[in-house]
Structure 1
Amino acid sequence: MRHTPEIFSARKWGGLVKEAIVSRALEEGFSLCRVARAAPFDRVPEWLRAFLREGRHGEMTWMEKRLEWREDPTALWPEARSILVLGESYGPEFDPLAALGERERGLISAYARGRDYHDIVKKRLKRLGRWLIEEFGGEIKVFVDTAPVAEKPLAQAAGLGWQGKHTNLVSREMGSWFFIGSVFTTLEIEPDPAETDHCGGCRRCLDICPTSAFPAPYQLDARRCISYLTIEHAGPVDEALRGKLGNRIYGCDDCLAVCPWNKFAVEAADIRYHGGSETDLPALEELAALDDTAFRARFSGSPIKRIGRGRFVRNVLYAIGNSGAARLKPVAQGLCDDEDPVVADAARWAVAELS
């Protein structure tokens, strides 16, 4: 059944539309679909401005821009009336915590082992959005980590999950392993109730953090977060933190992996999220040998590609320094005069650690 925007009425079609949308979202490959009303967020402006004022965003200066959009979805698109919030599982096939013991191999965050999720999720969102227009009219805009949208507060407002003490989203149905995407629409669709906090007295995510990146529950200082340090931070990592990186060369899953709600997590249904030889605990010496051309070829289509060869090899050298493997010392020595000064600095540090 097709409905033009003029015929559509939330009061008349609300329940039927909601049921049809959820069914279609699952057909497209999403794990969950919830709906939020397009409206300003409670408490987000206060939290976000305090986070930025204290400098906890580090070098992520993009967070300082378009604050009004992050604080209020209707500022981003005033015509929006409802927002579909979608969750897509990328549940790993391996235990990230067990992989920390593989000290001569590089540990890559579970979300980055396969194809770039931006491309996969956005295509699903666009297909869902086109179907929505064809069936019920209206206009749409789709987002997946590509615009100033406060995705986690939005997902909580839609009932998809709640922001845990590690500030990441947790779902009673998917645990911690899922991506978030959203479809803004001019249609008025029956919203879902917001999710409430279910962390209780648990603080496993806070206690496991190697760098003490959580000043308090529900607060993050990105400047100490391994995910930030290995991905967003461009220069040398503070020497006091290098030893805490272990073999993590792109991101960190510790606070996610330890969450007890992961007993409800499911493995990724889309095989494109699963890794391969390029990302499943590759040998550190193999990665250290990558020049720019080889790096780009190896990680084509991967989110890893965006940080560039220099930052990636820097991370690999920190892992070599943390490996305790004397056999890797010559590998680091070979990069002490690298044309990238940050790589050269990391190589000299690794040599000193292995001496």
Structure 2
Amino acid sequence: MEDFVKTTALDLGFDACRICRADEPWQAGERLVAFVEAGRHGSMEWMETTLERRKAPTSMWAEAKSAVVVGLNYGPDHDPMTMLARTDEGNISVYARGKDYHDLLKKRLKALARAFVTQTQAQVKVFVDTAPLMEKPLAAKAGVGWQGKHTNLVSRDLGSWLFLGVMLTDAELEADAPEIDHCGSCRACLDVCPTKAFPAPYQLDAKRCISYLTIEHKAPIPHEFREAMGNRIYGCDDCLAVCPWNKFAEVASESAFWARAELKGPGLDELSALDDAAFRELFSGSPIKRIGRDRFLRNVLIAIGNSANHGLIEQSVIPHLADPNPVVRGAAIWALSRLDSACFDVEKAARLDHETDEDVQAEWQSKPGA
């Protein structure tokens, strides 16, 4: 059965397939509890409400005996760090520049499940990132890779760029050996983090993570992190990109994961002009769509504030001082304070973050020559 499921997975286009027990005690649940109790999950309330189900695979499904963990490479064709210098363009995380991986990964995983059930008559359940199941600890337990000091999975063969999926089954499969930690004394991922989101190796404070702030966080971005965001408008790849194990990474063979031309380096001026309909059209079939136009525009305006491009004030900032959404207005105020300090200073911007658009516009228009 083990050889069958692995061969079938590779035939379906997966780049890795390994097996572990799903019904054994593990420390991942304890680490998750400590993470939530420390408040490091931020505003992701669903991590609290699903905590008991997340603690172990058998909490999700009591009959689960084995976990088949698959990996799919989404490696980029360039160094994502080079985008950080292009301050007039929005920097989108590599995984979100192509099509939404959930759909493709789940389709292949369901095909694997059907073949496995036909062969074994076992029961199965499949998971791709949206259910309360800890895929990364399972992948490490199965030997797909290990969780590095940045808490993400690293593979000796494929580097850092891996989408993960899991098939739980009540079949008792022979487990593969877990991968050992190969980080050694390296601190590259910890030291590169622009917001110092790692309190210690192998620990993440999501509240400080740019991926969390730009994707999961719905409120205004805390001021202490705005400058550090740079031009990152959706996610952050820094801790992945600097990992030395990426010397073994390959460009994704799946064309669905290749960056769409319009998302390789979209101009901040163009992104700032998106209304809701245009946002939905541009990001149709993309994971970016789920955060909505307002949260996305908040991120774009912060990037504009960090761009040092005064030419963006009139067309890309001023119109959003009257935006119906207060989070967007607040980001526009901050962007204006950064690009035109004679009009606003940062402290004043902080006070005005949630003021009405009339007050904001009146103050800006009172400037001579405005």
TM norm structure 1: 0.94
Q: Which structure 1 residue ranges, 4+ long, deviate > 3 Å from structure 2? A: none
Q: What letter matches 1:351 in structure 2?
A: L
**Alpha-carbon distance in 2 for matches of 1:197, 1:39:** 23
**Alpha-carbon distance in 1 for matches of 2:275, 2:76:** 29
Per-residue CA deviation, residues 24-75 of structure 1 (Å, 9 max, x unaligned), is 1011110000001112442223211111111100011111123232221112
**Alpha-carbon distance in 2 for matches of 1:229, 1:207:** 19
- Aligned twin of 2:17: 33
Identify the range of structure 1 (32-41 vs 81-90) with the bigger mean alpha-carbon deviation. 32-41
What pairs with 1:328-347 in structure 2 (closer than 5 Å)?
Answer: 328-330=312-314, 331-347=316-332
Identify the range of structure 1 (119-128 vs 70-79) with the bigger mean alpha-carbon deviation. 70-79
- Aligned twin of 2:251: 267
Aligned length: 339
CA contact (8 A) 1:40 1:71 kept: no
Residue 286 of structure 2, aligned match among 278, 287, 302: 302
- Aligned twin of 1:107: 91
Per-residue CA deviation, residues 242-300 of structure 1 (Å, 9 max, x unaligned), is 00000000000000000001011111111011121331110001000000011011101
TM norm structure 2: 0.90
Task: Compute the displacement of 1:76 (Å).
Answer: 1.1
**Alpha-carbon distance in 2 for matches of 1:183, 1:240:** 41
CA contact (8 A) 2:87 2:306 kept: yes
CA contact (8 A) 1:41 1:153 kept: no
CA contact (8 A) 1:140 1:184 kept: yes
Residue 165 of structure 1, aligned match among 149, 167, 170: 149
* 5+ long unaligned stretches in structure 1: 1-16
- Aligned twin of 1:213: 197
CA contact (8 A) 2:30 2:55 kept: no
Identify the range of structure 1 (67-76 vs 159-168) with the bigger mean alpha-carbon deviation. 67-76
Q: What letter matches 2:338 in structure 1?
A: E
**Alpha-carbon distance in 2 for matches of 1:246, 1:324:** 11
- Aligned twin of 1:352: 337
**Alpha-carbon distance in 1 for matches of 2:215, 2:332:** 18
Residue 242 of structure 1, aligned match among 219, 226, 250: 226
Q: What letter matches 2:336 in structure 1?
A: V
Q: What letter matches 1:188 in structure 2?
A: E
* 5+ long unaligned stretches in structure 2: 341-370
What pairs with 1:174-213 in structure 2 (closer than 5 Å)?
Answer: 174-213=158-197
SS in structure 2 of the partner of residue 182 of structure 1:
strand
Task: Compute the displacement of 1:191 (Å).
Answer: 0.8
SS in structure 2 of the partner of residue 97 of structure 1:
helix
Q: Percent identity?
A: 56
Residue 106 of structure 2, aligned match among 122, 137, 146: 122
Q: What letter matches 1:157 in structure 2?
A: K
Q: What letter matches 1:295 in structure 2?
A: F
Residue 217 of structure 2, aligned match among 217, 221, 233: 233
Task: Compute the displacement of 1:336 (Å).
Answer: 0.9
Residue 153 of structure 1, aligned match among 137, 146, 149: 137
